[in-house]
Structure 1
């Protein structure tokens, strides 16, 4: 008995991938880990509830949205553009780290993690949130509630969320055009 495969082609972290013969029904997280050695995205609950497996899916208009890789099969992303946690930082041609993203840097400065397992999902959600503020700024008085809403679906079992919220607030306040008085 053989496993049915179909070609899969997509763009990940700016690189065109495929077409690659990929088993039908293979979860995207398994494709990322096993086929591409992109292991930063975490497998948590396997049901799409904890959001540890969140990546950015870039819509045709350039808007990033959250997508979970444990509940979507790899072929769901056929023809799409995604960004994993490995794609947030700037790298040189050899793949060496040049500069962390503002969200990644703020998470480090605020020590916004403990075990770090859920951090890739939180970084992704926070990045998408900051991008949304660039398009639609928020009043300073509403910032905290908007941060809580943006990160609400992400589960952390260690930190109590306060440091995550503080890091995101720091980035929002430092990024021109995100917060209005």
Structure 2
């Protein structure tokens, strides 16, 4: 049985990709892994439950959201802009990491992960949350709930939740404009 092939063109981590001919129905995680060698997003459950596979979809209005790449077809992203975990750190011309993103750095400082399998999803979730807080800051009293809501769907089998939470909270509190001081 032959599969229908359709081209896909999108922007990934700020760079144009495509058109790349891919089979109809291929999931985005498979496209990233097999066609682009972007293997940072993890295939955990394969059912969209654990969120290890999420990528960031950047919307035209400047907002962003997480999209589970294990249950979303690659062609859904045709013409869109996404970010993968590989796109967060600053790299030199040789592709070597020069500077980690604030989220990545705080995850390291807080020893937020053990096996690291869920970490790409948590990095993307925290990044989306912090971008949301830039657009809509919360009071300090609302911050814990905002972080819980932002990370709540992610599953860590090594139970690193508290350390992920603490790292994200530190980034939020140390980044100007994300938390309002209510007096």
Answer yes or no: same fold by TM over 0.5: yes
Distance 2:87 2:132 in 1: 18
Mapping 1:104-119, distance limit 5 Å: 104-119=104-119
Q: Which deviates more, 112-121 or 1-10? A: 1-10
The alpha-carbon deviation at position 94 of structure 1 amounts to 2.5
Mapping 1:33-48, distance limit 5 Å: 33-48=33-48
Normalising to structure 1: TM-score of the pair?
A: 0.97
The alpha-carbon deviation at position 160 of structure 1 amounts to 4.2
Give 3-state SS (helix, strand or coil) of 1:49's partner: coil
Task: Describe the superposition over 1:126-149 as per-residue Cα deviations: whole angstroms up to 9, x where unpaired.
Answer: 011011111111111111111011
Give 3-state SS (helix, strand or coil) of 1:61's partner: coil
Alignment gaps of 5+ in structure 2: none
Distance 1:10 1:144 in 2: 35
Matched, 1:152 2:157: no
Give 3-state SS (helix, strand or coil) of 2:98's partner: strand
Distance 1:119 1:155 in 2: 10
Alignment-derived partner of residue 124 in structure 2: 124
Give 3-state SS (helix, strand or coil) of 1:121's partner: helix
Alignment-derived partner of residue 62 in structure 1: 62
Alignment-derived partner of residue 170 in structure 2: 170
The alpha-carbon deviation at position 83 of structure 1 amounts to 0.3
Distance 1:152 1:64 in 2: 17
- Give the conservation status (yes or no) of the 8 Å contact 1:56–1:84: yes
Give 3-state SS (helix, strand or coil) of 1:86's partner: helix
Distance 2:4 2:92 in 1: 37
- Give the conservation status (yes or no) of the 8 Å contact 2:114–2:160: no
Distance 1:120 1:17 in 2: 21
Normalising to structure 2: TM-score of the pair?
A: 0.96
- How much is the aligned-residue C-alpha RMSD, in angstroms? 0.9
Matched, 1:18 2:37: no
The alpha-carbon deviation at position 62 of structure 1 amounts to 2.0
The alpha-carbon deviation at position 3 of structure 1 amounts to 2.2
Task: Describe the superposition over 1:110-162 as per-residue Cα deviations: whole angstroms up to 9, x where unpaired.
Answer: 01101100000001000110111111111111111110111011111112400
Give 3-state SS (helix, strand or coil) of 1:26's partner: coil
